[in-house]
Amino acid sequence: MSKVIETMDTDESDAKGGFRETISTILWALGIAFVLRTFVFQPFHIPSGSMVPGLVKGDYIITSKYSVGYGRHAATPFPFPVRKGRIFERELERGDVIVFRPAGYDKDFIKRVIGLPGDQIQMKNGLLHINGKPVGIEIDGTHQYSNARTGELQLETFSNGNVHQVLNLQKGDRLDNTKPFPVPSGYYFMMGDNRDDSLDSRLTFDEGGVGMVPKENIIGKAEIVLLSVNDDFVIFKPWTWSNMRSDRWFKDIK
């Protein structure tokens, strides 16, 4: 008895081959995107004003992963095989703007590195003190934070040469005077540039802040503002695209 050989016409073969090629291309694209997001760059959205004036609500920023190394949250929401420290770790510098995930939270924060391991940080009458010495400031004008609040802009200069603006909304705020905070080995002390409207390392998790940030919880260093939008911007509604802020494209983060 002769064997029956199944045949497939050319159109059917081409269709199946095209489908497999499409799936393969999608899988490769997803894999490349995952690798880039995990090891090179990751975008983030700024949802609040705690880093005003440098970063404002509605900013979309790009962070670099390779510049800080890879900790436990490098591939979030997927697990990353790090428990302590960071793979290919690079030490942070005072003044770096960093995205991290505080202990006890399931969301990411962005703040400025103020205290390095071994430092002592304290606020006295609204002035930052590092290791017992006041940080130099200069008055740099005013900033309209909201319809009802205008604050004083200050240029803050660290000993390593980092210069950045901070916003002082009011004198005598509850965070203007703190106890001394010794920064343990393996941790960083973070603060927002909007000093009177930032829940940061000056407060513990139980107090609504982020506490000291362990080095393995560092995610990336903020590099640029890619674009910025107002609250009523929706990507799928072209008539709202005019609500992009034209003065915040590709803006360096200092």
Q: For position 7, what pLDDT does the model report?
A: 44
Residue 141's domain comprises 42-252
CA of 253: how far to CAs of 28, 92, 210, 232, in Å?
32, 15, 22, 24
Question: Which tens digit of pLDDT belongs to each residue from 102-152?
Answer: 989 999 999 999 999 999 999 999 999 999 999 999 999 999 998 889 999
CATH number, residue 244: 2.10.109.10
Question: Which tens digit of pLDDT belongs to each residue from 180-193?
Answer: 999 999 999 999 99
The structure tokens listed for 46 are: 């700024």
Q: Is 223 inside a domain boundary?
A: yes
Q: Is 35 inside a domain boundary?
A: no
Residues 224-238 have a mean pLDDT of 85
Count: domains in the chain: 1
Query: What pTM was estimated for this model as a whole?
Result: 0.86
- Cβ-in-10-Å burial (0-12, 13-18, 19+) of 144 comes to exposed
Q: For position 12, what pLDDT does the model report?
A: 56
Q: Which residue of the set 65, 111, 215, 221 is catalytic?
A: 111
Q: 87 has which bridge partners?
A: 70
Q: Is 20 inside a domain boundary?
A: no
Q: Which residue of the set 2, 48, 50, 179 is catalytic?
A: 50
Residues 29-50 have a mean pLDDT of 85
Q: Is 118 inside a domain boundary?
A: yes
Rounded Cα distance between 56 and 95, Å, is 18
DSSP category for residue 241: G
Question: Which of these ranges, 13-22, 83-92, 163-172, has the smallest mean pLDDT?
Answer: 13-22
Rounded Cα distance between 173 and 123, Å, is 11
Q: Is 10 inside a domain boundary?
A: no
Mark whether 111 is an active-site residue. yes
Question: Which of these ranges, 25-34, 122-131, 147-156, 243-252, has the smallest mean pLDDT?
Answer: 25-34
Mark whether 64 is an active-site residue. no
Rounded Cα distance between 101 and 140, Å, is 32
Q: Is 4 inside a domain boundary?
A: no
The structure tokens listed for 97 are: 């703007």
Rounded Cα distance between 97 and 113, Å, is 6
Rounded Cα distance between 156 and 164, Å, is 6
